[in-house]
Amino acid sequence: MTELTTNELQFLEEFGFQENLFQELRARFMSGKLSREHNTVQGRVEPPQPGDTEALPKRGGARWKRLYERGMAEIRSGRLALGILNGGMATRFGGVVKGIVPVMDGADISFLELKIRDSRSLAQECGSRIPIVIMNSWATGSATREHLEARDYFNLPPEDYFLFNQYLFPRLLPDGSIFRDAERQASYYGPGHGDFPIALRDSGGLEWLSRRGVEHLLVANVDNLGARVDPAVLGFYLEKGASTCVELAPKWPGDRGGCPARLDGKLQVVEEFRFPPDFDQDRIKVFNCNTFTFRVDSLDRQFPLTWFCVHKSVGGQQVIQFERLIGQLTAFQDCSYLVIPRKGPGNRFAPVKTPGDLPQARQVARLLFPHLLPASTGSAEAGPGQSSR
């Protein structure tokens, strides 16, 4: 690629850059075969049928207790790991890596710390260990490692962590040339969380999990405070026996995102921008949380994920990105679909996308993590020392 300098190419290659793939995608874009219009799914699209999704049983009920105990037994066996999607380009928090931002006022506890200390607490209760897998990006990797080292890995052995990076692409201008910023530097981005299964496999992460005897992997966004290790959710996934459990949240006014839909009869997550224009997405009352439990051995394959053409504005310039998304794994896996609560102590969907979401997030954190927060930030609904699971 004569448009990129030798140093730029070497930098990209440090993050697994596949030049031939990038050139192929660029050629498809230039020929008009990879555009926003081509993102739309092809085939018969229908809303889920009755029985396609199932709500998590009410907390404390007989079935919930059975699922909870089944999940606890699996955690005691050491066969569960926690995967955290911590990639992206650290832009929504003003260039600060979101995973290491303190969540609470007056308590220097980050998103990563809440998730990891919470899973550690449950593992200790079970007399086991829950390994941690973290996918970083070029923009988040160094700061995340420094954060873990500075906090003594949140009192977990360093060998309980597997950190790896998603891939890296250069942005394009609409004419197909390499976009350069005001300093004439190539502009990079991580091409979507669809990198997760591919980069995990390529980095040796799947082999690392298998050597530790891990059979199940809960994967969630770092900014979703509700997506914790929950024995009842694990028990549901085990009961259904599918290779993947997809978590769905009830839609509230204004919610947008991918939804479960039948595409030529196969139930899968269809991203919002991929639905045909004449399909009424309001017919589907739930949407994808981007939280999944995978059977580890089901990820040990090459997934033909679709590359999407995405238009962004960077520094006032319109740019082109090619991205792939983890939700499309559902097109190639057998899946169960679990509708989870999004309020109360069982809340599993509490995303924090911008700094403006933090005040509400703090209220959620007080409810979900009273066992981790100082007494001054505790909750009247679940006092210090009480688990909110």
3-state class (DSSP) for residue 376: helix
- Cα separations in angstroms, 255 against 121, 259, 336: 32, 11, 22
Q: Which domain holds residue 298?
A: 6-40+55-253+289-377
> Whole-angstrom Cα distance, residue 216 to residue 209?
9
pLDDT at 262: 98
CB 41 within 8 A of CB 263: yes
> Whole-angstrom Cα distance, residue 368 to residue 66?
22
pLDDT at 384: 31
pLDDT in tens, the chain (389 residues): 678 999 999 999 999 999 999 999 999 999 999 998 889 999 999 999 999 999 999 999 999 999 999 999 999 999 999 999 999 877 778 778 999 999 988 788 999 999 999 999 999 999 999 999 999 999 999 999 999 999 999 999 999 999 999 999 999 999 999 999 989 999 999 999 999 999 999 999 999 999 999 999 999 999 999 999 999 999 999 999 999 999 999 999 888 899 999 999 999 999 999 999 999 999 999 999 999 999 999 999 999 999 999 999 998 999 999 999 999 999 999 999 999 999 988 999 999 988 899 998 899 999 999 999 887 654 433 333 335 66
CB 197 within 8 A of CB 326: yes
pLDDT at 380: 38
382 lies in a domain?
Answer: no
**144 CA to centre of own chain:** 16
pLDDT at 138: 93
Give the predicted TM-score (pTM) of the model.
0.94
Q: Tokens 């192929």 label which residue?
A: 24
167 lies in a domain?
Answer: yes
Type of residue at 389: R
- Cα separations in angstroms, 156 against 77, 117, 144, 388: 18, 9, 15, 22
Two structure tokens written together for 122: 């449950």
Q: C-alpha angle 75/81/85, rounded to 5°?
A: 140
Beta strands in the chain (DSSP E): 45-46, 54-55, 80-85, 102-104, 107-110, 132-136, 161-165, 169-170, 188-189, 216-221, 244-250, 259-263, 266-270, 286-295, 308-314, 317-323, 335-339
Tell me the CATH number at 118: 3.90.550.10
> Whole-angstrom Cα distance, residue 3 to residue 172?
11
- The structural domain count of the chain equals 1
Among candidate residues 138, 130, 104, 324, the one with its CA nearest the CA of residue 212 = 130
199 lies in a domain?
Answer: yes
45 lies in a domain?
Answer: no
212 lies in a domain?
Answer: yes
pLDDT at 153: 98
Among candidate residues 339, 340, 248, 237, the one with its CA nearest the CA of residue 298 = 237
pLDDT at 200: 98
260 lies in a domain?
Answer: no
pLDDT at 376: 60
89 lies in a domain?
Answer: yes
Type of residue at 360: Q
Q: Tokens 């949140």 label which residue?
A: 154
280 lies in a domain?
Answer: no
